[in-house]
Amino acid sequence: MAKAANRAQNTAEMVRVGVVGHGVVGSAFTALVARQQETIAARTGITLEVVRIAVRDAGKHPSHVGTAVVSTDPLAVATADDVDLVVEVMGGTALASDVIRTALEHGKPVVTANKALLAAQSADLFKIADERGIDLLFEAAVCGGIPLIRPLRESLRGEPIRRVLGIVNGTTNFILTRMTEDGLDYAAALRGAQELGYAEADPTADVEGLDAAAKIAIVANFAFGVHVVVDDVAAEGISKITAGDISMARKFGYVIKLLGVAERDAGSGAVSVRVNPALVHLQHPLASVREAFNAVLVEGEASGSLMFYGRGAGGDPTASSVLGDVIDAAVNLRKGTHATLGTFAKADFASPDDMRSEFMITLEVADRPGVLHAVTGVFARNKVSIRAAEQDGIGSDARLVFLTHDARTADIKACMAEFARLDVVSKVGGYLRIIGA
């Protein structure tokens, strides 16, 4: 076996790789290439050789990693004559965009894990890659180690996809899991996530849903064949979720998850892309996705439901996705071909106020006669039908929690505005969407 692998490697063509960024993902990638080099050569006839690496702070790094030279000049990697293919795992948008554009313009395929950049500039970058006939691949940008973009782009290209629902951020899933299973409040669960290295010192991008928004925007491009950028995504995070919301959801048979949702109305074709915390029925497949794991449920008309599950972050899982793309791009480069990203139409976006779902609504009210009558009158006036209700005493006040039947978001918002004006309501809590079993 080993002999066969060595023979294949000796006759293999070399593809020289430049790696921009050698942090969590970059260093895991170069280590994985070293570990898998012979196997890749045996299977593809191509030897991958990392020849250049760029970092920001030379003082933190050795001058060489294996035979690769380490420098602090990312653009030099993108233009170097001895680099055939560029891996961008530096992050950020301005310099990363320059690196990717420069590499493509120099005829070098690019593999990137940079969701923030793709979710902002996908149209432009895809166009450059397609016009040049060069690969731009980015499996790792969405849900790290989970193969999702390629299945959407290739296997499901003809599928009439109705909806994609995903837990696409590991940090927030970890925080919500700890709140649910250990009864922690949000601040304590966030501290735990920071201690374990899931959440950054500044956790805004994760907890306010911005990281998930970038990922679901990229997914929506391929699910529906339309241009979606991160600014098209209505994003709401988990920082306002309370231990009370979690325990109430539990009482009704739900768990709270932060979901990225991309859906298309079958009739009008209008697309809605959003990130919001939601009550997920305990029997729904996404309810059992715990800790920092990610999972994405694709609902197709012909395929039925497909679930993708695994580690959405971390050096090794993300490097695995990067390496898969690098091998494809290297094989395509040698064959003189490239993967087609497809063409993307202008999206017709549904108004967020027209989106329908069931909701959980929480209010704190005075605990005295006639209060329930006043509150239910607000629902009736706004054509919102109540499915279930629960009352908990909190001193001289009470917490009222309602589950509604299917309702328009605009009607729910109108209810919330009216509740705020009622004397008997001391606090208007949030409204959360419900995803059934």
Nearer to ligand HSE, 78 or 152 (CB): 152
Q: Nearer to ligand HSE by C-beta: 103 or 313? A: 313
169 forms part of the interface with ligand HSE (CB under 6 A): yes
383 is catalytic: no
Could you say which residues in the range 177-206 bind ligand HSE, by CB under 6 A? 206
Q: Which is nearer to ligand NDP, 89 or 125 (CB)?
A: 89
Cross-strand partners of 309: 295
Distance CA 164, CA 273 (A): 9
DSSP readout, 23-70?
Answer: SHHHHHHHHHHHHHHHHHHHHHSEEEEEEEEE-S-GGGS-SEETTEEE
Site string for ligand HSE, 297-336 (x = CB under 6 A): ---------------xx-----------------------
* Residues, the chain: 437
Reduced to 3 states, what is the DSSP secondary structure of residue 271?
Answer: strand
Tell me the HSE value of 2 on the side-chain side, using a 13 A CA sphere.
0
Kindly state whether residue 171 participates in binding ligand HSE, applying the rule CB under 6 A: yes
Residue 64: both structure tokens together: 């060489």
**Looking up tokens 């940079």, which residue turns up?**
114
Among 17, 193, 313, 428, binds ligand NDP (CB under 6 A): 313
Enter the DSSP assignment of 200.
-
> What single-letter amino acid sits at 132?
R
CA distance 233 to 259: 12
147 residue type, one letter: P
Are the beta carbons of 277 and 258 closer than 8 angstroms? yes
- Asked if residue 429 binds ligand HSE (CB under 6 A), the reply is no
**Does 314 participate in binding ligand NDP (rule CB under 6 A)?**
yes
Whether residue 287 contacts residue 246, with contact meaning beta carbons closer than 8 Å, is answered with no
Kindly state the tokens that stand for 423.
């004397």
**Size, binding site for ligand NDP by CB under 6 A:** 25
Q: Which is nearer to ligand HSE, 205 or 329 (CB)?
A: 205
Catalytic, out of 108, 115, 215, 257: 215
Pick from 159, 211, 328, 397: which binds ligand HSE (CB under 6 A)? 211
What is the nearest approach in angstroms of ligand NDP to the Cβ of residue 213?
Answer: 13
Q: Which of the ranges 43-51, 165-173, 277-285, 341-349 carries the binding residues for ligand HSE, by CB under 6 A?
A: 165-173
- DSSP states of 392-404 as a string? EEETTEEEEEEEE
User: Would you count residue 89 as binding ligand NDP (CB under 6 A)?
Assistant: yes
The 35-74 contact track toward ligand NDP, x by CB under 6 A, reads -------------------xxxx--x-----------x-x
Q: Which of 100, 151, 92 minimizes the C-alpha distance to 124?
A: 100
Contact flag: residue 24 with ligand NDP (CB under 6 A): yes
- Interface ranges with ligand HSE (CB under 6 A): 144, 169-171, 206, 211, 312-313
Could you list the active site residues? 215
